[in-house]
Amino acid sequence: MGRSDYHSDASPTRLTLHHDRAQIDDAQHRLADSLRQAGYGETACFAVRLAVEEALANAFNHGHADAPDEPVVFSFHVNADRVEIEVEDQGPGYCPDEVPDPTVDENLESLSGRGLVLMRAYMTQVDVIPPGNRVRMVYVAGG
């Protein structure tokens, strides 16, 4: 089935995840299954998986740095022509403009701060919603 033949369910899938590898892997598998059913290829699956991995890592490691037991809400909606993803933590949020650019020479050896760079590179659109505890990402097929 090609993407043009695919019609998704109307409502997004919404999962509540704890900082647990098995839960994260299960969520990633569900998303990958949806992508494949919708006809997305391996390049798209790789891109979306990486972006989700980084968004969840940011949510758990930074958003919930002081609350490791709190869950993160992960939702996705797969259509034939676009994939919409949201990750929301319960932390205070952050301002993405205040994260030093890890790709400039003086920060190249920084140990962190690359998650958002990768999300922006692999997804068509990435918005950090104020106060900064929710990231919304869109992958557009062929975009």
Partner 1 sequence: MAPAASRLRVEEHQGIVRIEFIDRNILDEANIQQIGDEISEIIDTQPQPKLLISFRNVDHLSSAALGTLITINHKIRGKDGQLRLADIDPQIHEIFVITKLNKLFHIHDNSEHALESFS
| Contact positions vs partner 1 (CB under 8 A) | 21, 43, 46, 49-50, 53-54, 57, 61, 102-103, 105, 108-112, 114-115, 117-118, 121
Q: Which is nearer to partner 1, 9 or 105 (CB)?
A: 105
Least distance (Å) between residue 128 CB and partner 1 = 16
| Beta-carbon count within 10 A of 56 CB | 23
Q: Which is nearer to partner 1, 1 or 67 (CB)?
A: 67
Least distance (Å) between residue 24 CB and partner 1 = 8
Question: Where does residue 29 rank: exposed (0-12), middle (13-18), buried (19+ CB within 10 A)?
Answer: exposed
Least distance (Å) between residue 5 CB and partner 1 = 27
Q: Which is nearer to partner 1, 53 or 70 (CB)?
A: 53
* Distance, CA of 73 to CA of 40 (rounded, Å): 24
Report how far Cα 117 is from the mean position of its chain's Cα atoms.
12
Two structure tokens written together for 3: 């993407």
Two structure tokens written together for 68: 């490791």
